Structure 1
Amino acid sequence: MSRKITFLTLFLWLMTVTFPVIAQQKADTTCIFRFVPQKDMFYVPWKGNDTELARLLEYIENNKATILDGKLPLLVDGYCKSQGSKAENLATAKIRANRVKSELIIRAKIKEENFITHNHATEGDFVTVRLTVPVKETAVTDAEAEARLAVEPTVAGRRERQKAEAAAQQNALADTPSETKLTNDYHLSLRANLLRWVTLTPDLGLEWRICPSWGIAVNGSWTSWTWSDKDRRYALWEVAPEVRYYMGEKKAWYLGAMFKAGQFNYKLSETGKQGDLMGGGITAGYQLRLNKALALDFNLGLGYLNADFEKYEVIDGVRVRCGNETKNWCGPINAGVTLVWKLF
């Protein structure tokens, strides 16, 4: 009888130690966002970044309260090794990490303090975001527990995993698309030349970006003012279509060809001038991005204009023609500080 009791006690002890182990486990979730070598712009719909972003946002939403309480930080690591020096690599890695964090802050409504960020001048051209998500309690065997302990993340283990991820990213980036596909950040925008508006000449236009390097723009102006009992007049309309070629890495500088046509009626002195104008020339400019939706377009046009007009005087409220004239002009034909608003 004593042998049975001893055996039963030993058996129960072994069952307690060896088989069901109830433990709170945590699952590491790592999302990888790929970047083009030497560039810091975060292109969401590229190389699976949109899928990774959706997956990460789901994890954040499911654990948002814990994240906002500071109990579950998001570990962000920025990487770059495609620049010329270590300082440039670290600067680019920092910008990349900040762009990913900005996207998460906007979309997931979290804060900067919910991140722990490290930047690296090695490995590859990507950003990783990792969080340790608690999972439900499960019963595991002793063998499973030992296996999990064997792969429990350590500092060395994380480094090895990051190296493996970097190698995978290098293989994935082997077929990096051309710059034309990467900088196509808008297709249609609304334009307003602020210099025209300052002179009380309403001006609006559109630009259609056919591709990152080529765009078609058209601006139109119209105004009609009279004063001094209609003895003075300032009126005109103009249409100016333009073809542009954008240059450089950021596609900010451009050269273009413009055509201009319109009519005018000026009477700023005793003699008025009313007629047609037509001409064209080359344009050059620079677009300064203010944010994702707005930019300032600084431009200047040089070329030729022909003005064919009649001269007139106003006698007793009646316009009396007093000759006609033609003038040709070579030089500046257009200037603008244009506010550009991206529509889509």
Structure 2
Amino acid sequence: MSRKITFLTLFLWLMTVTFPVIAQQKADTTCIFRFVPQKDMFYVPWKGNDTELARLLEYIENNKATILDGKLPLLVDGYCKSQGSKAENLATAKIRANRVKSELIIRAKIKEENFITHNHATEGDFVTVRLTVPVKETAVTDAEAEARLAAEPTVAGRRERQKAEAAAQQNTLADTPSETKITTDHHLSLRANLLRWATLTPDLGLEWRICPSWGIAVNGSWTSWTWSDKDRRYALWEVAPEVRYYMGEKKAWYLGAMFKTGQFNYKLSETGKQGDLMGGGITAGYQLRLNKALDLDFNLGLGYLNVDFEKYEVIDDVRVRRGNETKDWYGPINAGVTLVWKLF
């Protein structure tokens, strides 16, 4: 019995000495996205980009918590050598890298700070995204284990190395410029049509961007002016709600549908006109970004207005009615150069 115990003890000791050490490894997974020479558009179905994108999205999804915690950054390298100069190549490489990152931010729901980006004016027309993906534990020989232990002889040494690596990674993330800004925020904007204000007609409005592509706006105008002992008058109020669809990568161009209603009272000569208006139409425009908070909105509306009004004259301070008229108008129904201020 004692021999069996001795043999079992010796066997367990040998297993402890000779059994491979289990260690955690990491495998680099690199996805390559091809670009048309001299172009910066990211064509997903082109040259296998769709397959690479699907593969990368799967890796990101499997490691999303670690990525969002900042422990597993995505290394993005943009390349271009088809332009005429180094500066143009670097600029194109930067745009290409940003387009790939934008696609990942939108599809994988990650953030700009989860990337480390470098751009190069060499090698080719592509963007690489490298993700150091943790894999299953694999066996390590005794010699490899001893070499690792020799490199890090103490627990304190290993901890110091880990701290240094974490600090280096944090500094790299801090130094990496934020190159990709995607309009994913839902913001409320205050609007003022400068063309209306130029005609002494105060105009204010609000727009709620419910998502990057859709917005709901409403503008209102009101004014009341009299002169020549109140014999001349310029007065009106209008309300114009509008639904907009923003297009393009920067969401700067848009098409919309607008409804307009209001009342007016004009007396710029001996005969005045007072009545109601109602109509609507299609709007189109472009928003030029001035800075982080301000845009300039150039817009034009085409459609139909129905105007129902009465004519009048003022005799001895008494308004004398001179008949009714109804007119239909087809053409421009709205125009604006609007200052847009993003409140939040």
Same structural fold, with TM-score higher than 0.5 when normalized by the shorter chain: yes
Range that drifts further, 27-36 or 257-266 = 27-36
Range that drifts further, 128-137 or 246-255 = 128-137
Any conservation in 2 of the 1:40–1:96 contact (CA below 8 Å)?
A: yes
Q: Kindly tell me: are residues 16 and 155 of structure 1, through their superposed partners in 2, closer, same or farther at Cα, counting changes over 3 Å? A: closer
Q: Kindly tell me: are residues 16 and 204 of structure 1, through their superposed partners in 2, closer, same or farther at Cα, counting changes over 3 Å? A: same
How far apart are 1:98 and its partner, in Å?
Answer: 12
How far apart are 1:119 and its partner, in Å?
Answer: 3.9
Range that drifts further, 123-132 or 191-200 = 123-132
Q: Kindly tell me: are residues 286 and 146 of structure 1, through their superposed partners in 2, closer, same or farther at Cα, counting changes over 3 Å? A: farther
What is the distance in 1 between the residues matched to 2:155 and 2:39?
29
What is the distance in 1 between the residues matched to 2:247 and 2:9?
82
What is the distance in 1 between the residues matched to 2:132 and 2:179?
36
Q: TM-score, normalised by structure 2?
A: 0.55
Q: Kindly tell me: are residues 203 and 109 of structure 1, through their superposed partners in 2, closer, same or farther at Cα, counting changes over 3 Å? A: same
How far apart are 1:343 and its partner, in Å?
Answer: 1.2
How far apart are 1:187 and its partner, in Å?
Answer: 2.0
Range that drifts further, 289-298 or 163-172 = 163-172
Q: Kindly tell me: are residues 93 and 147 of structure 1, through their superposed partners in 2, closer, same or farther at Cα, counting changes over 3 Å? A: farther
What is the distance in 2 between the residues matched to 1:38 and 1:161?
43
Q: Kindly tell me: are residues 249 and 163 of structure 1, through their superposed partners in 2, closer, same or farther at Cα, counting changes over 3 Å? A: farther
Q: Kindly tell me: are residues 19 and 253 of structure 1, through their superposed partners in 2, closer, same or farther at Cα, counting changes over 3 Å? A: closer
Q: Kindly tell me: are residues 32 and 295 of structure 1, through their superposed partners in 2, closer, same or farther at Cα, counting changes over 3 Å? A: farther
Q: Kindly tell me: are residues 3 and 242 of structure 1, through their superposed partners in 2, closer, same or farther at Cα, counting changes over 3 Å? A: closer
Q: Kindly tell me: are residues 279 and 21 of structure 1, through their superposed partners in 2, closer, same or farther at Cα, counting changes over 3 Å? A: closer
Range that drifts further, 90-99 or 267-276 = 90-99
How far apart are 1:319 and its partner, in Å?
Answer: 1.1
What is the distance in 2 between the residues matched to 1:175 and 1:51?
32
Identify unmatched segments of 5+ residues in structure 1.
Answer: none
Any conservation in 2 of the 1:180–1:213 contact (CA below 8 Å)?
A: no
Any conservation in 1 of the 2:102–2:182 contact (CA below 8 Å)?
A: no
How far apart are 1:266 and its partner, in Å?
Answer: 0.1
* 1:179-199 deviations in Å (ceiling 9; x for gaps): 999432442111100000000
What is the distance in 2 between the residues matched to 1:278 and 1:342?
30
Any conservation in 1 of the 2:112–2:178 contact (CA below 8 Å)?
A: no
Range that drifts further, 196-205 or 74-83 = 74-83
* 1:246-282 deviations in Å (ceiling 9; x for gaps): 1111111111111000000000000000010000010
What is the distance in 1 between the residues matched to 2:181 and 2:109?
30
Matched, 1:106 2:106: yes
Q: Kindly tell me: are residues 13 and 275 of structure 1, through their superposed partners in 2, closer, same or farther at Cα, counting changes over 3 Å? A: closer
How far apart are 1:5 and its partner, in Å?
Answer: 50
What is the distance in 1 between the residues matched to 2:122 and 2:170?
12
Structure 1 vs Structure 2 CA RMSD:
11.4
User: How many residues are treated as equivalent by the alignment?
Assistant: 344
What is the distance in 2 between the residues matched to 1:75 and 1:183?
23
How far apart are 1:291 and its partner, in Å?
Answer: 1.0
Range that drifts further, 66-75 or 321-330 = 66-75
* 1:152-201 deviations in Å (ceiling 9; x for gaps): 99999999999999999999999999999943244211110000000000
Identify unmatched segments of 5+ residues in structure 2.
Answer: none
Identity, in percent, stands at 96
How far apart are 1:94 and its partner, in Å?
Answer: 5.2
How far apart are 1:306 and its partner, in Å?
Answer: 0.6
Q: Kindly tell me: are residues 196 and 339 of structure 1, through their superposed partners in 2, closer, same or farther at Cα, counting changes over 3 Å? A: same
* 1:53-93 deviations in Å (ceiling 9; x for gaps): 99999999999999999999999997789999987652045
Any conservation in 1 of the 2:284–2:300 contact (CA below 8 Å)?
A: yes
Q: TM-score, normalised by structure 1?
A: 0.55
